[in-house]
Chain A
Amino acid sequence: MLEESSFEPKIIAFCCNWCSYAGADLAGGMRLKYSSTIRPIRVMCSGRISPHFIIKAFQEGADGVLVTGCHIGDCHYMKGNYITAKRVAILRELFNFIGISPERLRLEWVAASEGDKFARVADEFTEKIKTLGPSSIKNISFNK
């Protein structure tokens, strides 16, 4: 088990192409510094993020998963993010019941103009995961 001070979490961030990925890009363009624990994955819409992606990310050793998309009403595909909100809500409750802290899964709406929000969310989320420690899924012996 790693000590908390040296623990660098792995965080998978799913970003929708039209808002959040552009937002993350803007954060870079604005030369904002944010935590290097974030590994962004671009998807065309947050509605494309199947719950299996999130479950698989945790299974493969992610300490946290950040799901980002356009604000409600701003979706490029009109309604894609509506289902994302529902899925994440169910998954958080399910994780809680199975014994994975629901705080490891976070949903955030980031618009293309919100570079600062992306950087802030990334930092906040990293801090949160650091306090929670490494994900216990990584310690399951028979998965190795």
Chain B
Amino acid sequence: MEALKNEVETLLREGTISAFLGMKLIKGQSIPFLFTHPDDLEQLTIGEARYPLAKIILIAHKYPDHHLGIMVRGCDEKALIELYRNKQLDRCKLVPMGVACSGELAEKCNCSKPYPSQFIVGEAREISFDRAILEKIESLPLDERFGYWINQLGKCIKCYGCRNICPVCFCEVCTLEDAPLIPLGKIPPEVPAFHLSRAFHMAGRCIDCGLCEEGCPVDIPLRTLYRKVREIVQELFDYLPGEDKEVVAPLQILGDGSFEITEGNP
């Protein structure tokens, strides 16, 4: 904690970064805050709450001449990598400060990698991902699976919370607000079209942070749905979003024609 504070203070004082996006402790609550002055760092905290900091740092767009620091957890780092890959952020303009999550938080998030590649605070913990919910749904027969999902998705109040909190959702014009596709003023939205559309957009993007499910006010198991999409993409294209590799996502490009389905589709 002190190590992080000192590091940020040094960077701010020597002018390497103009501002630092971290968490500020206000009345016992930790909330995201853009620290611009070293004296404010008194209230810098890490906290147990997660926010999509990688998405908030998209404000960097507005200040292309400035270098910004950002606190990153394991999931934030994966999100940043996807945002770099989709050309939403400039890697050279950001200074990430790694923070490893506490065991409690990692356990709660069911996180397979609760630490970034480099970190100043905390220690690396290995937690194996629990696939139990996915396996349970996969084992159901087709019609029961359909019933399960329709019941879950039918709870939706169309608050767009899942989209708004998603660190890798960055489009300026959202398909989910396209009136011919998603009729306006209808609650629940068209089930399952609304959620399937969003699920498809998560293909090759979802970093499995689970913020969507945490943010959902009606507890739809969204993470399970997107987790499956992530697995589908991994299986078909051998691509895992959030890995720091020099590759392009399968749906970012048309491809070279090497992928053509034959199996199960005569």
Which of A83, A91, A100, A102 contacts B200, CB < 8 Å?
Answer: A91
Q: Which residues of B contact A102 (CB under 8 A)?
A: 264
Interface string of B225-250 (1 = CB under 8 A from A): 10011001101110000000000001
Q: Which residues of A contact B265 (CB under 8 A)?
A: 88, 92, 106-107
Chain B: number of interface residues, binned into ranges = 35 or more
- Distance (whole angstroms) from the CB of A134 to the closest CB of chain B: 13
Q: How far is the CA of A101 from the CA of B148 in the complex (A)?
A: 15
Q: Which residues of B contact A72 (CB under 8 A)?
A: 257, 260
Q: How far is the CA of A102 from the CA of B265 in the complex (A)?
A: 9
Which label, helix, strand, loop or mixed, suits the secondary structure of the B interface?
helix
Q: How far is the CA of A51 from the CA of B196 in the complex (A)?
A: 9
B220 within 8 A of A: no
Known contacts: A82-B254, A90-B233, A94-B199. The answer to whether A99 contacts B260 by CB under 8 A is no
Interface residues of A in 34-90 (CB under 8 A from B): 47, 51-52, 55-56, 58-59, 72-73, 79-80, 82-83, 85-90
- Let me know if B192 and A98 touch, CB within 8 A: yes
Which of B144, B150, B196 contacts A94, CB < 8 Å?
Answer: B196
B-contacting 9-mer, from A9-17, A111-119, A136-144: A136-144
- Let me know if B200 and A55 touch, CB within 8 A: yes
B123 within 8 A of A: no
A4 within 8 A of B: no
- Having A90-B232, A94-B232, one finds 17 other A-B pairs with CB under 8 Å, namely A47-B254, A55-B196, A59-B190, A79-B257, A82-B255, A83-B254, A85-B261, A90-B203, A90-B233, A92-B264, A94-B196, A97-B137, A97-B232, A99-B145, A99-B146, A99-B148, A136-B146
What is the interface of chain A, defined by CB distance below 8 A to chain B?
Answer: 47, 51-52, 55-56, 58-59, 72-73, 79-80, 82-83, 85-94, 96-102, 106-107, 136-137, 140, 142-143
24 interchain pairs, CB-CB under 8 A: A51-B197, A52-B200, A55-B196, A72-B257, A73-B257, A82-B254, A82-B259, A85-B259, A85-B260, A86-B250, A87-B251, A90-B203, A90-B236, A97-B145, A98-B192, A100-B146, A101-B142, A106-B265, A136-B143, A140-B150, A140-B154, A142-B191, A143-B190, A143-B191
